[in-house]
A and B are shown apart, each in its own frame.
Chain A
Amino acid sequence: EVQLVQSGAEVKKPGESLKISCKGSGYSFTSYWIGWVRQMPGKGLEWMGIIYPGDSDTRYSPSFQGQVTISADKSISTAYLQWSSLKASDTAMYYCARLGEMATISHIDYWGQGTLVTVSS
């Protein structure tokens, strides 16, 4: 069974750093792209970027380029999303998602359960 299990909710202050995780299981982690999606309170889904864990090829949405860093550790089947300096506007739910065709940027077929990030002074 394919599963994406994300790390727990975080409460941070503006200016702090943060790294959240997404652990994949039940499939070949290195063979499928993994993406990150933001959902701000009461809003729709926004694509942030994707990574291919097999070779760490990473692509960012222009809206998020330079704002976050996406990485992966294939030895532990885990993808990461990190911020170096959080802002209040980063408050949102963040989902990881698997792209459903091997080695191909395609449709999402599995979602993580989400990680709520709250940034407040």
Chain B
Amino acid sequence: QLVLTQSPSASASLGASVKLTCTLSSGHSSYAIAWHQQQPEKGPRYLMKLNSDGSHSKGDGIPDRFSGSSSGAERYLTISSLQSEDEADYYCQTWGTVVFGGGTKLTVL
């Protein structure tokens, strides 16, 4: 069964970098995913599609501070030069049968 696993929470300081992880279930390590951001009291926003080889394509207007990478079954979202508006929930999503991860709540200290 295709499952995406995310840590429930993460935190980092203003101006620092943070790396969020989304792990694909066993047997699905070749799958691409997408990352989405949901700021407080707002709807989700598409950030990027991330392939198993680490190549990624970002959505319209997504800053260069957001990047993606992959290693095995792990898919990463790195946010550099953290800003207060980056405090949000981050969800990974895959397809075949469409699935969301449980989300990671990022706190900017």
Interface residues of B in 87-107 (CB under 8 A from A): 89, 91, 93-103
Check: A53 CB closer than 8 A to any chain B CB.
no
Bound Cα distance A29, B49 (Å): 21
Among residues of A, the one whose C-beta sits closest to the C-beta of B6 is A44
Count how many chain B residues have C-beta atoms less than 8 Å from C-beta atoms of the other chain.
Answer: 24
Q: How far apart sit A25 and B102, CA to CA, in the bound complex (Å)?
A: 30
The minimal Cβ–Cβ distance linking B108 to chain A, given in whole angstroms, is 20
- Near B by CB (< 8 A), chain A positions 74-95 give 93, 95
25 A-B residue pairs with CB within 8 Å: A37-B44, A37-B100, A44-B89, A44-B91, A44-B100, A45-B91, A45-B93, A47-B98, A47-B99, A50-B98, A61-B98, A93-B43, A100-B46, A105-B95, A106-B49, A106-B95, A107-B34, A107-B49, A107-B95, A108-B44, A108-B93, A109-B59, A110-B46, A111-B44, A113-B43
Show the binding face of A for B, using Cβ within 8 Å. 35, 37, 44-47, 50, 61, 93, 95, 97, 99-100, 105-114
